[in-house]
Structure 1
Amino acid sequence: MDANGLRFWQIADPGGFGIGADAKDLHWRPESGLLRLDRQQKAPSLAEDKIFARARASAPSPVSDPGGSFAWLDETGTLRTAGFGPGPVPLAIPPDSPPGVPTPTDLAFGDDDVLYVARNDGVLMVDRRERWVPARVDLKNFHAHRLAPAPGGGAWVLDRSTGELALLKGMPLRTGGIRPDIGEVFRPVEPNPRPPAMRRIRAARLPANVEPIAIAGSKSGRVAVLGWIEDEDAVLFTLEGRELVRRFALEGLRYPYGLAWEGEDRVAVLASDGGQPARQAFVYELDVPPSADASARPTGEIHRLIDPWAANFCNRLTEVPEYLVTGEGATAPQGRRMLRALSRATYARSGSVTIGPFDAGKADNVWHRLYVEASVPEHAGIRIWMHADDRGGRPPAPGEDDAPPWSLHIVGDAAHEDYPQAARASWCAERSELPFHPGLSPCPSALDRSGLFTALVQRPDSRVRRLSGRWLWLHVELTGDSQVSPELAAIRVHGDRFSWRDRYLPSFLHETLSGVDGEMEGAATRHDFLDRFLGLFEGPLTQIENKVAGSWLLTDPAATPDPALPWLGSWIGIEAGRGEAAEGLRERLRAAPWTARLHGTPGGLMAALELATGGKLVVGGGIDLEREVPRPGQLALAEFDDHIVRSLVLGMSDPRGGRPPAILVGGSVTRGEIVVIEGWRLRRTFATILGADLADENDPLTLGLSVSGNSYVGDTLILGDQARREVMALFSADLPQSAADRAAVADFFERLAHRVLVLVRETPRTADRARLRQIAEAAAPAHVEITLATARQPLIVAVASLVGVDSFLLPEPPPRTARIGRTALGAGDRVAGSGRLDARADGPVSPPPVAVADGPAEVLAGRDFLLSAARSEAARGRSVDRHIWTRL
Structure 2
Amino acid sequence: MTCAPTNVTFRLLDDVVGWDEATVTDVVGFADPAGVRLAHPGSSPEGPTRTELLPWFPDPRLAPGCRPCAWYLLSGDQVLSRDTCAGDWSPLWPPHCDPRLLRAPTAVASRGHRIAVVDSGRVFLWRNEGDQLTAVIRLRQAEIVALAQDEQALVSRAGSDRIRRYGPDGRLCEVIRTGVGGEIIGIRTGPGRTIWLLTEEDGLLRIFRGGHRFRESTVDELAAALPPSSLVAADDDGFCLREKGPDGDVTSCYDWEGQPREAPAPETGQYVTRGEFATKLIDSGISRCRWHRVRVDADVPAGTAVSVAIVVSEDGQFAESDWQTVAAGVTDFLVDQPPGRYLTARVRLSGDSSSTPVLNRIRLDFPRSTSADLLPAAFRQDPAADDFTERFLTLFDASTAEIDRVIERYPALLDPAGVPDGALPWLAGLLGLAFEAGWDAKTRRELIAAAPGLYRRRGTPCALAEAITIVFGVEPVIDELAGDRHWAQVRATATPSTARGLGSVRLFGRSSSRLRLDTSALGAAPLRAYGDPDTDPLTEHAHRFRVLLPAGTADEDALRRLVVRQAPAHTRGSVRAAGSGFVVGFRSTVGVDTAFVPLPPPVVGGVRLNHDGVLRPGPRGARHGVSVGVMSAVGVHTRVS
Normalised by the length of structure 1, the TM-score is 0.44
Larger radius of gyration: 2
Name 2:186's counterpart in structure 1: 216
Q: Within the alignment, does 1:599 sit opposite 2:516 as a pair? A: no
The 5 A counterparts of 1:605-754 are 605-609=464-468, 667-668=471-472, 670=473, 672=474, 675-680=475-480, 736-738=504-506, 747=537, 751=541, 754=544
Q: Within the alignment, does 1:195 sit opposite 2:165 as a pair? A: no
The 5 A counterparts of 1:400-419 are 405-412=322-329
Deviation at 1:527, TM superposition (A): 4.0
Deviation at 1:500, TM superposition (A): 3.0
- Give the direction of change, closer, same or farther, for the CA distance of 1:745–1:147 in structure 2 (3 Å limit): farther
Q: Within the alignment, does 1:505 sit opposite 2:376 as a pair? A: yes
Q: Within the alignment, does 1:149 sit opposite 2:146 as a pair? A: yes
Distance in 1, matches of 2:386 and 2:165, equals 77
- Give the direction of change, closer, same or farther, for the CA distance of 1:130–1:534 in structure 2 (3 Å limit): closer
- Give the direction of change, closer, same or farther, for the CA distance of 1:376–1:791 in structure 2 (3 Å limit): same
Residue aligned with 1:149, SS = strand
Residue pair 1:683, 1:749 contacting (<8 A) in 2 also: no
Residue aligned with 2:349, SS = strand
Deviation at 1:355, TM superposition (A): 5.0
* Structure 2 residue identity aligned to 1:195: L
Deviation at 1:506, TM superposition (A): 1.1
Name 2:166's counterpart in structure 1: 170
Selected match of 1:756 from 521, 533, 546 = 546
Name 1:541's counterpart in structure 2: 400
Distance in 2, matches of 1:90 and 1:458, equals 76
Deviation at 1:535, TM superposition (A): 2.0
Distance in 2, matches of 1:31 and 1:202, equals 23
* Structure 2 residue identity aligned to 1:782: A
Normalised by the length of structure 2, the TM-score is 0.57
Distance in 1, matches of 2:133 and 2:452, equals 63
Name 1:707's counterpart in structure 2: none
Deviation at 1:780, TM superposition (A): 1.1
Cα deviation, 1:395-443, whole Å, max 9, x if unaligned, reads 89x9xxx87954434442xxxxxxxxxxxx4xxxxxxxxxxxxxxxxxx
Deviation at 1:308, TM superposition (A): 0.8
Distance in 2, matches of 1:503 and 1:562, equals 42
Distance in 2, matches of 1:151 and 1:23, equals 44
Distance in 2, matches of 1:582 and 1:173, equals 41
* Structure 2 residue identity aligned to 1:458: D
Residue aligned with 2:292, SS = strand
Selected match of 1:802 from 584, 591, 594 = 594
Name 2:259's counterpart in structure 1: 326
Cα deviation, 1:255-299, whole Å, max 9, x if unaligned, reads xxxxxxx999xx987444xxxx26879xxxxxxxxxxxxxxxxxx
Deviation at 1:171, TM superposition (A): 0.5
The 5 A counterparts of 1:124-523 are 124-128=124-128, 134-139=134-139, 142-144=140-142, 146-149=143-146, 153-159=152-158, 163=159, 167-172=163-168, 195-196=172-173, 215-219=185-189, 220-224=195-199, 270-272=234-236, 277=237, 306-310=252-256, 325-327=258-260, 347-355=271-279, 365-376=289-300, 380-387=304-311, 405-412=322-329, 425=330, 453-459=331-337, 464=338, 466=339, 468-469=340-341, 473-482=344-353, 485-506=356-377, 509=380
Percent of aligned positions with the same letter in both sequences? 18
Deviation at 1:154, TM superposition (A): 2.8
Residue pair 2:181, 2:199 contacting (<8 A) in 1 also: no
Deviation at 1:599, TM superposition (A): 1.0
Name 1:6's counterpart in structure 2: 7
Residue aligned with 2:459, SS = coil
Name 1:90's counterpart in structure 2: 93
Name 2:246's counterpart in structure 1: none
* Structure 1 residue identity aligned to 2:105: T
Residue pair 2:238, 2:255 contacting (<8 A) in 1 also: no
Distance in 1, matches of 2:306 and 2:321, equals 20
Distance in 2, matches of 1:601 and 1:507, equals 71
Question: Gaps spanning 5+ residues in structure 2: where?
Answer: 45-58, 190-194, 213-225, 242-248, 491-500, 514-532, 582-587, 598-641
* Structure 1 residue identity aligned to 2:154: A
Residue aligned with 2:196, SS = coil
Higher deviation after alignment, 22-31 or 381-390: 22-31
Distance in 1, matches of 2:565 and 2:327, equals 56
Residue pair 1:115, 1:126 contacting (<8 A) in 2 also: yes
Deviation at 1:785, TM superposition (A): 2.1
Cα deviation, 1:346-369, whole Å, max 9, x if unaligned, reads 753322233577665666554322
Residue pair 1:17, 1:353 contacting (<8 A) in 2 also: no
Name 1:867's counterpart in structure 2: none
Residue pair 2:425, 2:435 contacting (<8 A) in 1 also: no
Cα deviation, 1:642-697, whole Å, max 9, x if unaligned, reads xxxxxxxxxxxxxxxxxxxxxx5xx32x2x3xx5321159999x99xx9999xxxx
* Structure 1 residue identity aligned to 2:197: R
Residue pair 1:137, 1:196 contacting (<8 A) in 2 also: no
Distance in 2, matches of 1:81 and 1:6, equals 68
* Structure 2 residue identity aligned to 1:147: I
* Structure 2 residue identity aligned to 1:537: F
* Structure 2 residue identity aligned to 1:61: R
Name 2:620's counterpart in structure 1: none
Residue aligned with 1:385, SS = strand
Residue pair 2:482, 2:544 contacting (<8 A) in 1 also: no
Residue pair 2:182, 2:199 contacting (<8 A) in 1 also: no
Name 2:49's counterpart in structure 1: none
Distance in 2, matches of 1:19 and 1:137, equals 54
Aligned residues: 504
- Give the direction of change, closer, same or farther, for the CA distance of 1:5–1:750 in structure 2 (3 Å limit): farther
* Structure 2 residue identity aligned to 1:6: N
Deviation at 1:781, TM superposition (A): 2.0
Deviation at 1:113, TM superposition (A): 5.5
- Give the direction of change, closer, same or farther, for the CA distance of 1:578–1:691 in structure 2 (3 Å limit): closer
Deviation at 1:776, TM superposition (A): 1.7
- Give the direction of change, closer, same or farther, for the CA distance of 1:458–1:607 in structure 2 (3 Å limit): farther
Distance in 2, matches of 1:495 and 1:510, equals 23
* Structure 1 residue identity aligned to 2:478: E
* Structure 2 residue identity aligned to 1:594: G
Deviation at 1:456, TM superposition (A): 1.7
